[in-house]
A and B are shown apart, each in its own frame.
Chain A
Amino acid sequence: SQQGEEDPQALSIQEGENATMNCSYKTSINNLQWYRQNSGRGLVHLILIRSNEREKHSGRLRVTLDTSKKSSSLLITASRAADTASYFCATVQVTSGSRLTFGEGTQLTVNP
């Protein structure tokens, strides 16, 4: 089965609200990364959090990592219509070198 599983699969919110997406994984990791994919486009890296880190911020993004629960969350604050996209978590497992294993993604829709 996949390393990363995300929930919810789809999330629809109003502009200005916060959006929280969760990711769970199964095996020990070196790091966990979040990517965004706009419709019909490639993936764009958002944030990387190492296994020894618990929280990381980048602009309106906040990522947490709980290695004891094997889970991560991505929070987007004060969302904008332009944040509408699919968001993927991807893990680099301890045993897999630089291989990224992706979750199924969360489709976020921010309504203006």
Chain B
Amino acid sequence: DTAVSQTPKYLVTQMGNDKSIKCEQNLGHDTMYWYKQDSKKFLKIMFSYNNKELIINETVPNRFSPKSPDKAHLNLHINSLELGDSAVYFCAGASGLGAQETQYFGPGTRLLVL
């Protein structure tokens, strides 16, 4: 069973469109994250939720809006897509807020904006 799953795996879309990426974890974790990995493989945190509450919100354009309907899901909605949004987006989960927690990553969603 996949611990952290994301859909879709690939997403190709036109500039200006609105799209959503879904993430689900079946580990019972309290904390979930969204990361963006650029073409140089640099990973940067975007958001973190703990028990459906937003706890980390990096300097991300407000076109990006995370939504956590329940503890097992953290979706990412992106409005008015731009070319620079092309990247791989990873969802991750961790069992708590503690500094010692390992994060479990999903397989990634490869977004290409044309």
Binding site for B on A (CB under 8 A): 2, 30-31, 33, 35, 37, 40-45, 48, 50, 86, 88, 92, 97-102, 104-105
Which of chain A's residues has its CB closest to B58's CB? A99
Q: How large is the interface on B (under 10, 10 to 19, 20 to 34, 35 or more residues)?
A: 20 to 34
- Cβ–Cβ contact B107 & A42, under 8 A: yes
A42 CA to B4 CA, complexed, in Å: 10
Give 24 A-B contacts (CB < 8 Å), ordered by A residue.
A2-B42, A35-B105, A37-B41, A40-B108, A41-B107, A41-B108, A43-B90, A43-B103, A45-B102, A45-B103, A45-B104, A86-B41, A88-B43, A92-B99, A97-B56, A97-B99, A98-B31, A98-B97, A98-B101, A99-B45, A100-B103, A101-B45, A102-B44, A104-B40
- Cβ–Cβ contact A97 & B97, under 8 A: yes
Q: Is B68 an interface residue (CB 8 A)?
A: no
Binding site for A on B (CB under 8 A): 4, 31, 40-45, 48, 55-56, 90, 92, 94, 96-108
- A99: chain B residues at CB < 8 Å are 45, 48, 56
Minimum CB–CB distance for A85 against chain B, Å = 11
- B102: chain A residues at CB < 8 Å are 33, 45, 48
